[in-house]
Structure 1
Amino acid sequence: MITRRGFLRLVGGSAFAMVSLGAYAVGIEPMLLTHVKRYTLTPPHWPAGLKLRVVALADIHACRPWMTPERIASLAEEANALQPDLVVLLGDYTAGTKLVTGRVEVAEWAEALSGLKAPLGVLSILGNHDWWTDFFAQRAEAGPTQSRKALEHVGIPVLENDVVRLEKEGHGFWIAGLADQLALLPNKAKGRDSFQGFDDLDGTLAKVSGSEPIILLAHEPDIFTKVPWRVSLTLSGHTHGGQVRLFGYSPVVPSDYGNRFAYGHVVENDRNLIVSGGLGFSIIPVRFGVRPEILQIDLG
């Protein structure tokens, strides 16, 4: 039988462990050196001889003290050091939590990202928080958002239901970028009880001509259920891997499909999706089991 002293030691030890675990999840893991998550794959109908390195950054959520302009600039340097052919930004540049010590203005984080370099360029899409934190875009129920203006000001194109054709060593391919799927917040005064998106998957893919491969950028991974086999690879963020992930499972995932699209490389019906765990966080400043990461994807 456990003694009173033994019981108190057990309780004290458990409390200390919980406090230590919480301190790690809030104060240490979010600030750890960024992990480079590497994937190597040859998607369906990928041209023989086309070797392409794509580096992706997702869910930066700029704010102080967690994701300062200085840290974002260092992330750009880390991305450049991976020698990508192409860099893609997967949305959510603005803060996703109110638990901050200070704001980072759109011009600040955009300037920090302007250091990204790649032979085939840097392309971007927007995320839900880039819309949700933009009062004027919400009121007008239309863009361009402040995030889009800031990115374009520093020379980074933003794809919203648009495509661009790129070429490497004689092989052509397409990057398609979706507008956000959760752009407008619910607004009962305007008769909107749920989120409204501006994404147009069919219209976007209709802009692609010929049979060259397509890489789709879509901030929220839920669209993957509708993505046709014609698309070689879909890249998403948004979920942060659940921010807390234990033994391959995330208790809370901002997706209608739960852990199905929470994190990592998903293959369904010979279609490929990669979901980044992202770099920042939303709601609460906690990461556990999901270190901040940059994606390096080698295709072909």
Structure 2
Amino acid sequence: MITRRDFMKLAGGGFASVAALGGYAFAVEPLARLSIVRYRLTPPGWTPGLKLRLVALADLHACEPWMSAERIVSICKRANSLGGDITVLLGDYASSMNFVTRYVHSSEWSRALSTLSAPLGVHAVMGNHDWWEDRTAQMNGGGETFAHRALAGVGIEVHSNRAVRLEKDGFGFWLAGLEDQLALRPGKIWSRRRMTGLDDLDGTLAQVSDDAPVILLAHEPDIFPRVPSRVSLTLSGHTHGGQVRFAGLSPVVPSRFGDRYAYGHIIEEDCHLIVSGGLGCSVAPIRFGVPPEIVVVDLG
């Protein structure tokens, strides 16, 4: 029979464990860790002889103390050291958290991102928070957000339903970027189903004019079931890997597909998707089991 003293010891130990886990999820994993997650693949139809390294950063959510301009510069320097041929930014530069000491202005986080460099350039798409935090863009129902202008202002190429042809060692490939799928919010009534996307997958892929492989940048991975096999690889962020992840599963994922596209390398019908766990936090400054990460993809 358990005694009162034994019960208090168990209760105290349990409380201490919960407090320790909470402290780790709040103060250690979001702030002090940075993982380099690597993938190597040769998708169907990939050009023989074309070897390409992509470095991908997603979901910065710039704010203090969690993602200061100084920390962004440090992350960018680490990304530059990874030997990428091309660097891609997968959206959500702006923060919408309430648990912040200061919001980092777009002029600051864009200047920090200008630290990035790669032989084939730095290329970006927008995320939902970049749209949601811009009231003027919401009222206009489109156009450019402050994030579009901030990135373009520091020389980072922004893709809004646009495909460009690039070359590496004489081999061509296409980089296509979609505008955000949840860009416009329906007034005061929040409902993911009522969001209006500004993405145009068919129009973007129609710009591809030869047989070279296509890499698609799409902030939300929910577009993936519509992506044709013509696309060699889709790169997404948005989910943060669920931000809290146990035994490979996340209890809450901001996707209509639940955990299906929450994180990692997904293959469906010979189509490849890689979802980054991202770098920052959304809603609450907590990460557990999904440390901030830079993604490196070696193709070919």
* TM-score between the two structures when normalised by the length of structure 1: 0.98
For 1:11, give the aligned amino acid. Answer: A
Encode CA deviations 1:65-120: one digit per residue, 9 max, x unaligned. Answer: 00000000111100100011000000000113111000100000000000111000
SS at match of 1:238: coil
How far the C-alpha of 1:186 sits from its partner, in A, is 1.6
How far the C-alpha of 1:292 sits from its partner, in A, is 0.2
Residue 217 to residue 132, structure 1, CA distance change in 2 (3 Å)? same
Task: Identify the residue that residue 167 of structure 1 maps to in structure 2.
Answer: 167
For 1:235, give the aligned amino acid. Answer: L
- Runs of 4+ in structure 1 over 4 Å off: none
User: In the alignment, is residue 258 of structure 1 matched against residue 258 of structure 2?
Assistant: yes
* TM-score between the two structures when normalised by the length of structure 2: 0.98
Encode CA deviations 1:200-252: one digit per residue, 9 max, x unaligned. Answer: 10111001101110000000000001000000000000000000001100000
Q: Distance in 2 between matches of 1:193 and 1:202?
A: 21
Encode CA deviations 1:167-188: one digit per residue, 9 max, x unaligned. Answer: 0111000000000000011226
Task: Identify the residue that residue 91 of structure 1 maps to in structure 2.
Answer: 91
Residue identity (%): 60
Task: Identify the residue that residue 132 of structure 2 maps to in structure 1.
Answer: 132
Q: Distance in 2 between matches of 1:253 and 1:33?
A: 22
Task: Identify the residue that residue 237 of structure 1 maps to in structure 2.
Answer: 237
User: In the alignment, is residue 113 of structure 1 matched against residue 113 of structure 2?
Assistant: yes
How far the C-alpha of 1:193 sits from its partner, in A, is 7.5
Residue 174 to residue 100, structure 1, CA distance change in 2 (3 Å)? same
Q: Distance in 1 between matches of 2:85 and 2:60?
A: 21
Q: Distance in 2 between matches of 1:32 and 1:270?
A: 37
SS at match of 1:179: coil
Task: Identify the residue that residue 60 of structure 1 maps to in structure 2.
Answer: 60
Q: Distance in 1 between matches of 2:262 and 2:158?
A: 25
Contact 1:159 1:177 in 2 (8 A): yes
Task: Identify the residue that residue 156 of structure 1 maps to in structure 2.
Answer: 156
Task: Identify the residue that residue 267 of structure 1 maps to in structure 2.
Answer: 267
SS at match of 1:274: strand
Task: Identify the residue that residue 73 of structure 2 maps to in structure 1.
Answer: 73
Contact 1:96 1:281 in 2 (8 A): no
- RMSD across aligned positions (CA): 1.2
Task: Identify the residue that residue 143 of structure 1 maps to in structure 2.
Answer: 143
Q: Distance in 2 between matches of 1:22 and 1:54?
A: 34
Q: Gaps spanning 5+ residues in structure 2: where?
A: none
Task: Identify the residue that residue 31 of structure 2 maps to in structure 1.
Answer: 31
For 1:106, give the aligned amino acid. Answer: S
Encode CA deviations 1:140-192: one digit per residue, 9 max, x unaligned. Answer: 11121000000000000110100111001110000000000000112269xx9
Residue 109 to residue 48, structure 1, CA distance change in 2 (3 Å)? same
Q: Gaps spanning 5+ residues in structure 1: where?
A: none
Query: What is the count of residue pairs matched by the alignment?
Result: 298
SS at match of 2:102: coil
User: In the alignment, is residue 4 of structure 1 matched against residue 4 of structure 2?
Assistant: yes
SS at match of 1:232: strand
1:216-235 to structure 2, matched below 5 A, reads: 216-235=216-235
Contact 1:32 1:291 in 2 (8 A): no
